[in-house]
Amino acid sequence: MAKYTPMIQQYLQVKAEYQDAFLFFRLGDFYEMFFDDAVRASQELEITLTSRDGGTKERIPMCGVPYHAAPNYIEQLIEKGYKVAICEQTEDPKQAKGVVRREVVQLITPGTVMEGKGLSEKENNYISSISTFEDGTYGLIYTDLSTGESRVTMLTSSTDELLNELNTIGAKEVVCDEALPGELQQKLKERLSITLSFEQDTVVKESDESFFRQLSQQKLRITAARLLNYLYRTQKRSLDHLQPVELYAVSNYMKMDYYSKRNLELTETIRSKGKKGSLLWLLDETMTSMGGRLLKQWIDRPLISKAKIETRLNAVDVFLQRFFEREELRELLTEVYDLERLAGRVAFGNVNARDLVQLKKSLQQTPGIAHLLQQLGESETNQLAEKLDPCEELTDLLEQAIVDQPPLSIKEGNIIRDGYHAELDQYRDASSNGKTWIAELQASERERTGIKSLKIGYNRVFGYYIEVTKANIHLLEEGRYERKQTLTNAERYITPELKEKEALILQAEEKSVELEYELFTSIRETVKEYIPRLQSLAKIVSEIDVLQCFATVSEKRQFVKPTFNNERRIRIEEGRHPVVEKVMNAQEYVPNDCFMDKERELLLITGPNMSGKSTYMRQVALTAILAQIGCYVPATKASLPIFDQVFTRIGAADDLISGQSTFMVEMLEAKNAISHATEDSLILFDEIGRGTSTYDGMALAQAIIEHIHENIGSKTLFSTHYHELTVLEDELQQLRNIHVSAMEHNGKLVFLHKIKEGAADKSYGIHVAELAELPPTLIQRAKELLEQLEEKGEPAPLPTQPKVLKEEEPLSQLSFFTEEPRQEQKKVAKQDEIVLAEIKKLDILEMTPLEAMNTLYRIQKKLKKA
């Protein structure tokens, strides 16, 4: 350290405390980075890497960004999962006796972003914390620092449940103990792409007791304290906007694992990972950012409480029946800004005057919204109206204090209204009248001197001055004008009167700006006191927004109100997949019924590829999810049970990150469903077993079907291309065959997309290949092979296959001597005897076709090994 210059030594001392972050070190008008930070930042941000003398022989790598452009560069680093420590000058350079004092004023991380492009309007930005305990349980808390909402729970199951919960909330950063097992840290980083941070302090401070109000269990308090202390340490400012942490239980909501949400494309599509094409995209008719975030939360966590579901449905029904009132409500909501994040910015101290104008406009809509809800005259909407708090005192304060169109900066004045503060009005009057006096003085001086080009100007260096061209200097009265500045073609003067008035004007302007800033910060502190009320208001407005959104979508898409039964019965008439229906023309979509009860627990679905089996299965699941979030459903009639869990295995995809093949992913998803499903669950299995050989796959598929049928009893939709499995309808009482119909017309395959009872009569695989426009010669050859396979049960020889030797032709040269049978021949003969004995023992009449096929396959394998 002694070798480096004092400034570099200061940098290294600060950097030592923030090893896992880029250190933005303030030097004048730039944030500079040095050493490894500079090298990496130049690559990540594509900025020039330079160097500077640091007191050693070798120059130090350096790069930097202008302070006014820093937010854009910081956002780029945060989006890539990095952390940025902001180190500011905390001492006036003019008063510093040595190196200017500098301190880190904030650590910005993926989970603590408060503003900018990295913060999506309709998505939460969660930072989470986990604690592990000796009994195998996990404590989990997550907070959106931008809105102040926090939730905590205990997880008593496996690591997979923890990972699934973190994936559900979409946490960007996880704070944990440094002793967290390395294997779990690896999974967090690789499988969820989460930024890891560490915090050891789990002490609950007395001043934070209000945050822990709902928590009595020590494990939960430790978990919450870890996150709160991390936020204090990194943000170094007030966190008054953090709401008391809310306790929740995962079991209070419908459970869906990561794979199920991905397969059903609830919030993002499988292919593009974007919102368009997902259920969230279809439903999002919200008018506020707050409503958009709440909608996503509801989709992620469908309810299992029938009473709560019906409360939402009843409110949707009211909005649906009253079109004009709903449209008026939507107009009012367009004027409501993001109250949650505005409150967060107020607490953080980075709110500006324009933000406060947005807050005022939002509050001004509240009485209108409440009045409209009361006009509807229903108990559900009346209860919502009663919870709306217009915060009238705050609205009046902002109306009286802040101008309608304030500047962006809060330190340059012109924010406070005239008439709000008497002293400020006096300063403004002095400044305004002083300028009038200046204008009058200019006119009188021109008259006195006869110099028509004489003018009075101002600059920051010399203040006010009288400027006269050199050609007119002789016209000035001697002794009255004092020379101030000489220019090429003019001279600048001052007079005693001008100097006196200048002091008054400049003092008034300076004091006016200072006083405006003081008044603004005072107003901001007053707004802080309203934060809890603003957050409560935001929650109600969000709920109203989502409910009207459900009504709007239901009317547009012709959804119907679902009913619920206790008989575990599904009856969906003319059900549709809502997203597919929207993407394609609604008139072209073919609706289908779904009926399941105690006699029909498991539907085995057959039919050609591309016929709509997967779509049918997904639409049943989406109908259940829509119903349980409190929305109407895409059908003409729907009666449903309440499902506790939904499991899916749809589509084929390798999990390359964890090094798992398609078939392994398939088996893991099947295992998850089989291990956790109950009779109140819904299971969707699409083409299970197709990732391995035909016989293995068929055997696994049948075993899974039998296990679900005999041991679980979940409502299950199981699609397959193994037509041999359709015989299970005769053996399993609660299994029924259904198929997606298709027909041949003029040799071409036509998909009817209609679900019918019974098994499909054929696969139509070659027809699908023909639709995909494979070469005609290939298609023709496939047809020939298929005919031969169906007739002979064996493939036809290829045209290029060499001639087969006849039995009488010698296989090799005749031996002159009689040879004893070789060892290999003896082994084959012995194996043949064993196989023949096994075949004799078989009771063919008592075997199912599938068992016979499996036995034949096993025998064939033995013979091949021999």
* Residues 141, 152 contacting (CB under 8 angstroms): yes
Cα-based angle 9, 15, 20 (whole degrees, multiple of 5): 160
Phi-psi domain of 753 (left: phi exceeds 0; alpha: psi -120 through 50; beta: other): left
Any residues with CB less than 8 A from the CB of 585 and at least 6 apart, and which? none
Angle between helix 662-676 and 694-707 (nearest 10): 10
Cα 729 to Cα 739: distance, rounded to the nearest angstrom: 13
* 3 state SS for 476-516: CCCCCCEEEEECCCEEEEECHHHHHHHHHHHHHHHHHHHHH
Between the alpha carbon of residue 853 and those of residues 718, 729, 765, 841, 863, the distances in Å are: 22, 18, 22, 16, 15
Strands 463-469 and 490-494: antiparallel
Tokens of 659: 């090094």
* DSSP string computed for 425-450: HHHHHHHHHHHHHHHHHHHHHHHHH-
Cα 126 to Cα 109: distance, rounded to the nearest angstrom: 11
612 assigned ligand-binding residue: yes
Cα 354 to Cα 526: distance, rounded to the nearest angstrom: 16
> Quick one: 219 exposed, middle or buried, by C-beta within 10 A (0-12, 13-18, 19+)?
middle
290 assigned ligand-binding residue: no
* Residues 412, 389 contacting (CB under 8 angstroms): no
Sign of the Cα torsion 808, 813, 819, 825 reads negative
Cα 566 to Cα 640: distance, rounded to the nearest angstrom: 9
561 assigned ligand-binding residue: no
> Quick one: 239 exposed, middle or buried, by C-beta within 10 A (0-12, 13-18, 19+)?
middle
Identify the DSSP state of 641. Answer: P
Tell which residue, 75, 286, 274, 267, has the closest CA to residue 170.
267
- Which run of H or of E encompasses 667? helix 662-676
611 assigned ligand-binding residue: yes
Cα 636 to Cα 163: distance, rounded to the nearest angstrom: 38
72 assigned ligand-binding residue: no
- Say which residue the tokens 């009860």 belong to: 597
Between the alpha carbon of residue 405 and those of residues 259, 411, 428, 640, the distances in Å are: 49, 15, 18, 53
Cα 538 to Cα 521: distance, rounded to the nearest angstrom: 23
Tokens of 592: 């289908």
195 phi and psi angles, rounded to 5 deg: -75, 130
Tell which residue, 272, 281, 231, has the closest CA to residue 112.
231
Cα 110 to Cα 170: distance, rounded to the nearest angstrom: 12
* Residues 718, 688 contacting (CB under 8 angstroms): yes
At residue 321, the 3 state secondary structure works out as helix
- Say which residue the tokens 């940025």 belong to: 84
Tell which residue, 470, 472, 476, 464, has the closest CA to residue 488.
470
Q: What proportions of the chain, in percent to the nearest 5, are helix, strand and coil?
A: 45, 20, 35
614 assigned ligand-binding residue: yes
At residue 204, the 3 state secondary structure works out as coil
Cα 130 to Cα 138: distance, rounded to the nearest angstrom: 7
> Quick one: 296 exposed, middle or buried, by C-beta within 10 A (0-12, 13-18, 19+)?
buried
- By residue count, the chain amounts to 866
- Cβ neighbours around 341 below 10 Å, total: 25
139 assigned ligand-binding residue: no
459 assigned ligand-binding residue: no
- Cβ neighbours around 537 below 10 Å, total: 24
Residues annotated within the binding site are 607-614
Residues annotated within the binding site for ATP are 607-614
